[in-house]
Structure 1
């Protein structure tokens, strides 16, 4: 399936794996790229040397294009912004901020820059700044979220910009893929389903929490302090929401969540850790390889789109 995104990135299928903190390491990124999609390494708040190592390890596992997701709020964002240039990374996606100040350097290095946006205004601003594409991410997504749904956000962003739009949020199978294309997207970004991929380093407890999730098991913490995060309900999220309701301050809430994502992803503490996952978790029923996931999505989507 050819779209402007497959041409832009030099990939076989218009499927991008989300650059999830702690989850999206070089094993997952390389496996998705080898399966014909675009794998992303999630730089999150990792120091530059860690990200450099991840990039080099990914290159050992794949000769296909892959990218790095840079969280611009990270204290190491500046350092990582230079490392992706030095290491010859092909694609950079950005979150939590404006990549404007790195745009010239990245463009000069031939890097395709793709910011994640949650509003039409931000999409237009990013296009003006020189972005090659945008990821329009709906509130159904896991992790940090905006307020518009994928169904409403994607077509409005498509209408507002000339550059290609990648749809994200609530997409986990060929039906979601086909729906995104009907809305005008030219690729999809998928996070939660790749959390349960065989090549994903997520702890088995984390994978099982997603696999066992029902449609109503997702909730949003942090609305009171302007940092809404979607996760699967557990002891920690219930405690967080209770404190929020009682008017707890940002510091108190922050104390509860420091290191909590790592605790869930790496150590498997799915009771007190933060299990970030999208609302689509209830649809995900088993662990598969990245190749099986990508092929199954494409097969199902092509049947639907050519019927």
Structure 2
């Protein structure tokens, strides 16, 4: 299954792993890349030196290409933008902001730049400033989300830009992969399915909650702050939504979620932690290796698309 994305990133399969904070570290990124996909280190709010160490750990585990997801709202974003150049990663994906001021530096270093976009307007702007591709992410995804659904957003972005489009949000199996291809995407990005990968460091309690999730088990918090986040509903999301309804301040809401993602990922606190996951969690039922996940999805998609 060759597309402009497999050529651009020099990968075997057009499957990209989401750059999930606390989840997407070196062991998961290396396993995805070694399996023929494209692994990502999620820089999130981590300091630049942590990202540098993670990059070097991936290189020690595989010689396959991989990238770093940079959250541009991070106070360390500028330092990380330089670290990826110094360490020579294959590509950068970006979220929560506009990467324009770093694009030329990355391009000069031969790094492919692939911003995450939630609208046609942003996709067109990213193409104008030299992006190599864009990830059109629908609101079905876990974590920070936009307003448009994947089904509506992807074809409109495909029609609006000439660079390749990667579909993200709600994709967890070969049917979603095939549907994304039919909409004009040339790769898919998946996060939720990789949370439960055997190589994922996520606490077993968190993995079990994802695998037990039903179709209606995610909740969106933070709409009142302008920073909506999708996660599995639990005690923390219920408390957050109650405070939002009562008109709590941004500071109160931030305090409630402080360190909550780490609580879930590292400590397995599924009551007070933030269990970021997309609506596709209802389709994720088993732990598999990254290689098994990718091969199963690609095989099913190829059969559906009559490519084999």
Return the alpha-carbon distance in structure 2 between the equivalents of residues 231 and 47 of structure 1.
25
Structure 1 residue aligned with 2:93: 93
Return the alpha-carbon distance in structure 2 between the equivalents of residues 295 and 104 of structure 1.
35
Structure 2 residue aligned with 1:166: 166
Return the alpha-carbon distance in structure 2 between the equivalents of residues 74 and 242 of structure 1.
28
Q: Are residue 59 (structure 1) and residue 59 (structure 2) matched?
A: yes
Structure 2 residue aligned with 1:16: 16
Return the alpha-carbon distance in structure 1 between the equivalents of residues 285 and 104 of structure 2.
43
Q: Give the 5 Å matches for 1:46-195.
A: 46-195=46-195
Unaligned segments of structure 2, at least 5 residues: none
Structure 2 residue aligned with 1:275: 275
Structure 2 residue aligned with 1:288: 288
Return the alpha-carbon distance in structure 2 between the equivalents of residues 228 and 101 of structure 1.
25
| RMSD, aligned α-carbons | 0.6
Q: Give the 5 Å matches for 1:215-254.
A: 215-254=215-254
Instruction: Give, in angstroms, the shift of residue 224 of structure 1.
Output: 0.7
Instruction: Give, in angstroms, the shift of residue 266 of structure 1.
Output: 0.7
Structure 2 residue aligned with 1:45: 45
Instruction: Give, in angstroms, the shift of residue 262 of structure 1.
Output: 0.6
Return the alpha-carbon distance in structure 2 between the equivalents of residues 235 and 126 of structure 1.
38
Return the alpha-carbon distance in structure 2 between the equivalents of residues 103 and 245 of structure 1.
40
- TM-score, structure 1 as length reference: 0.99
Return the alpha-carbon distance in structure 2 between the equivalents of residues 64 and 145 of structure 1.
30
- Partner secondary structure for residue 224 of structure 1: helix
Instruction: Give, in angstroms, the shift of residue 239 of structure 1.
Output: 0.5
- Partner secondary structure for residue 266 of structure 1: helix
Instruction: Give, in angstroms, the shift of residue 120 of structure 1.
Output: 0.3
- Partner secondary structure for residue 113 of structure 1: strand
Instruction: Give, in angstroms, the shift of residue 59 of structure 1.
Output: 0.2
- Partner secondary structure for residue 171 of structure 2: coil
Instruction: Give, in angstroms, the shift of residue 214 of structure 1.
Output: 0.5
Instruction: Give, in angstroms, the shift of residue 278 of structure 1.
Output: 0.1
- TM-score, structure 2 as length reference: 0.99
Unaligned segments of structure 1, at least 5 residues: none
Aligned residue-pair number:
307
Return the alpha-carbon distance in structure 2 between the equivalents of residues 107 and 236 of structure 1.
41
- Partner secondary structure for residue 11 of structure 2: coil
Return the alpha-carbon distance in structure 2 between the equivalents of residues 10 and 253 of structure 1.
42
Instruction: Give, in angstroms, the shift of residue 240 of structure 1.
Output: 0.4
